[in-house]
Amino acid sequence: MTTLSSRALNRALLDRQFLLARTDHSPLEVIGRLVALQAQEPNWPYVGLWSRIHGFTPPDLVALLEDRKVVRSGLLRSTQHLAAADDFLRLRPVLQPVLDRTARSAYFARNSAGLDTASLVAAGLELLAGGTVPRKELARRLAERHPGRDGRVLAGEVELRAPLVHGTTTGAWGSWGTRPAVSVTPAETWLGRPMAPATAKDLIRRYLAAFGPASAMDVQAWSGLTRLGEIVSGMRAELRRYRAADGRELIDLADAELPDPDTPAPVRLLPAFDNVLLGHADRTRIIGHADRKRVMPGQAQVRPTFLVDGRVHGSWSLEGDTLLLTPFRPLSATDRVALEQETRRLLSFVAGENLSCGGSNAIRFTDIHAAGLPA
């Protein structure tokens, strides 16, 4: 069994994520390859696609949302994602146990204690009446039906337990640091066709195409599903096996190619919550343990980062019309120039929305202490 170094795994991941070289594939094709883009904040998926696609512009994704070819909804790990409409109809049923588990957590259970789950979901769908309703309005109506309970939490539980999608304005390109109001619609009504469940094996194959080689535990960490080891074992005949440097068994699609580990990796700026940082239980192929604590200080936070030689080297943030870069380690002169060039490209990309970003002070470097990060 071939042993793969951390660098080999890094280059394989970057290659499959279109981060070794930008692609000419369409945004819909790229979203399909990546399975889904995490999208808690509306603007971040746009930056993720800009980092991967030649000539990508915000209207490219806006059009896909308006044409209902891409939808926003709860998906992997019960978090908000953008996914191709066809993929959502196939994969949401596979991932429904993850969302149901979240709906059974104490936060929701305390509020819905004594309510019949099926009746709550049926009431929510009845109130939607097959159409689009603001989430706040759904919450208000549910609270009227169930006095003494928090309607917002009830609406959140319905959204977890039933496949609802968000209106197009929820995922629109807009001002930084703000979230538009969310409206929800039953997915089958929005898309005009029924759910078409895939299998867990289908999901594993899609994962490996975007994140492999990887372990069964990696698939579980990415998806939120559990007990996939037995399913992976049943797929051994169709998969290729490798060994990680620490002895872990890794699996991959049989026909998947691995790039040369010595392939140069360009500087890349990634959005908050980028999939490439969240696709594995063992993330050391792209981020060190110390850096992970800086980038992911809590369960609900994954800061924007930049890659140097294929690995996380620092974080970044927007402050008015200035992009603030915080390297975790010194940069060579060559890497600093490359980082500044890529940063100016990103500033040009976001400037079309609401930033001036054209002056000499548009890029600023700081250290981890000034940025409030652990040393």
C-alpha pair distances (Å), 33 with each of 29, 86, 144? 6, 13, 43
- The amino acid at residue 302 is V
Residue 75's pLDDT is 97
3-state helix, strand, coil in the chain (%, to 5): 45, 15, 40
Quote the tokens at residue 320: 């008015």
The phi and psi torsions of 367 (rounded to 5 degrees) equal -105, 170
For the chain, what is the radius of gyration of the CA atoms? 21
Strand segments (E) across 198-354: 239-244, 249-253, 268-270, 305-308, 311-319, 322-327
- The domain segmentation of the chain, as residue ranges, is 45-191, 268-365
Structure pTM? 0.94
Residue 371's pLDDT is 80
**Side-by-side strand order, sheet with 133-134:** 133-134, 183-186, 164-166
The phi and psi torsions of 278 (rounded to 5 degrees) equal -115, 10
Tens place of pLDDT per residue across the chain (375 aa): 899 999 999 999 999 999 999 999 999 999 999 999 999 889 999 999 999 999 999 999 999 999 999 999 999 999 999 999 999 999 999 999 999 999 999 999 999 999 999 999 999 999 998 789 999 999 999 999 999 999 999 999 999 999 999 999 888 898 777 778 899 999 999 999 999 999 999 999 999 999 999 999 999 999 999 999 999 999 999 999 999 999 999 999 999 999 999 999 999 999 999 999 999 999 999 999 999 999 998 777 899 999 999 999 999 999 888 999 999 999 999 999 999 999 999 999 998 654 444 444 589 999 988 888 887
